[in-house]
Structure 1
Amino acid sequence: MATEATERPAPDSPPPAGGVTAPGRAAIRERHLRTDRWWLAPAATAAGLLAFVIYSTWRAFANTDYYAAPYVSPFYSPCLAENCEPMKGGPNFDLLGGWWGLSPAIIILIFPLGFRLTCYYYRKAYYRGFWASPPACAVAEPHKKYSGETRFPLVLQNIHRYFFYAAVLVALILTWDTVLAFRNSDYEWGHMGLGTLVFLANIVLIWAYTLSCHSCRHIVGGRLKHFSKHPVRYKLWGWVGKLNERHMFLAWASLISVAAADFYVYLVASGAFDDPTLF
């Protein structure tokens, strides 16, 4: 005897389109049975990511107020263009010659943003927040077809492991910038300002997020048939696994910290206030 959950649609109903309405699935007319505010999480995710996109786009094209001795904005380091502000002791490289007249941040942000754009957590975040694929657990996505990441352009997500190598290089450069932040405005060592603490917090979160990446976990412990024969790699794999458990938190924390570090440099460079000296 058919129950209400297994009754098929009335003859005048449109034919099933597939997915959760495909033949053989329970004929539940509602898109979902959730009664909570399930839309809050994807909406908050979309708002947070959109805010960062707007801010980083403004700062990337501003091409000004990104250096206040001894601090250089993480959006602009290393400087690869000819028109960079002088950064004494900083990683400056005029690799593009005089033809590049745009902001040097446009070159740099390609690599960390590419790393984050292809990151497993961020895929989940913007797939749900912007594409509703799916918008939440137990809520069907509105798309009629689903090909996953097997077709262009999503197949390009597979280059995440290569962006990881670039992200490590960028993190090393930002580490050197943090070391240089222990100088004063006259480039004398032994100084610590509020900006130094901002840079320290940022680089710790950047490294934690980078090393918690799934690609890093695979590089450290992947393709091993016997962990007992590789005790060092097994120990590293365990440490990376612990970080990986906090990958979502580290993704957001490092996103906020890198924007905060850039904004701090902007405030000091624009003359909004002087960097307070702690010692």
Structure 2
Amino acid sequence: MSAETQNHQQQTGQALPLAYIAVHDKTPSMRVLYASSNIRLALQFEPDEVLGLPAFSFITNQKVGEYKQKFGQPSDESVVISNTMVYDRNRSPVYLRIIHFNCDDIAFNVAMCYPEINDQVGEMRRQAFEEQCRQQSTVYRSRGRFLQACLVLERQRAVDDVAPWGPRVVFASRSFEAIVNLDASDVQGLSFLALVAAEDTVKAARFLERVAGSQTVVVEKLLLVNGGQADNNRPVCVEVVAAGSDDGAILLCRPDRMRGLGQNDDDSGYTSLEDIISSDPETSGLSDAWRF
């Protein structure tokens, strides 16, 4: 374990795994669009220097084909738990457990690092992790083409006088506009809690705290502000499935059709995230209820 990682643990009070966020497109080049600051601790790369590079150039030779097949092309698997091996700056392999969000043909990844798995002592644990990932592969698969969008939040900050609205949105998929009538480019840079309706602000703040402290996905329903100009400009109820760490979070948002649509809307085939994903994943053991 590097000295930087040890310092990070002491400062945050968190044990391994160290996690970072990485976003890449699903074109053949798989360009990196965003990387959070923890990639510096995990792989010794600066976030800016990896932007625009092919994501697969960091994957180890034995895993690159598998990664391209899983995450290099569009898929209806909206949230997937998987694993891979990447190279750090010194070309040393680092084992990652990935929570992958697929949205707008973009890959949003929370990557959790397990450097101790790469040594001989960790071989049995590596095999156990890979078996667990196979069993828990698809957390949520869309049925049909339901509207959904992804937000990436910056490093979690306390809600206090200095940062009264918590972490900002640093990346928003283009489909977010269709959910809340706010252009994705206008959402970027805003504090996430500023997008939440007043009656759900405290609930949303607690939700972000749960996400930062969890090593798996967390689910919640939230009311978001509606940026439309209609007179009945009511908040939009969305189901959110999220994952992250102290370094930020990825939020997959989908309108709650059971609450937000009228009787005449076609909701055939609709299954809520709440029905699919346990609201307490850490005690559910990622049972079959997680799978579609």
Task: Output the TM-score relative to the length of structure 1.
Answer: 0.25
TM-score, with structure 2 as normaliser: 0.24
Considering fraction of residues, name the structure with more strand.
Answer: 2
Q: Which has the higher contact order (CA 8 A, sep 6+)?
A: 1
Higher share in helix: 1
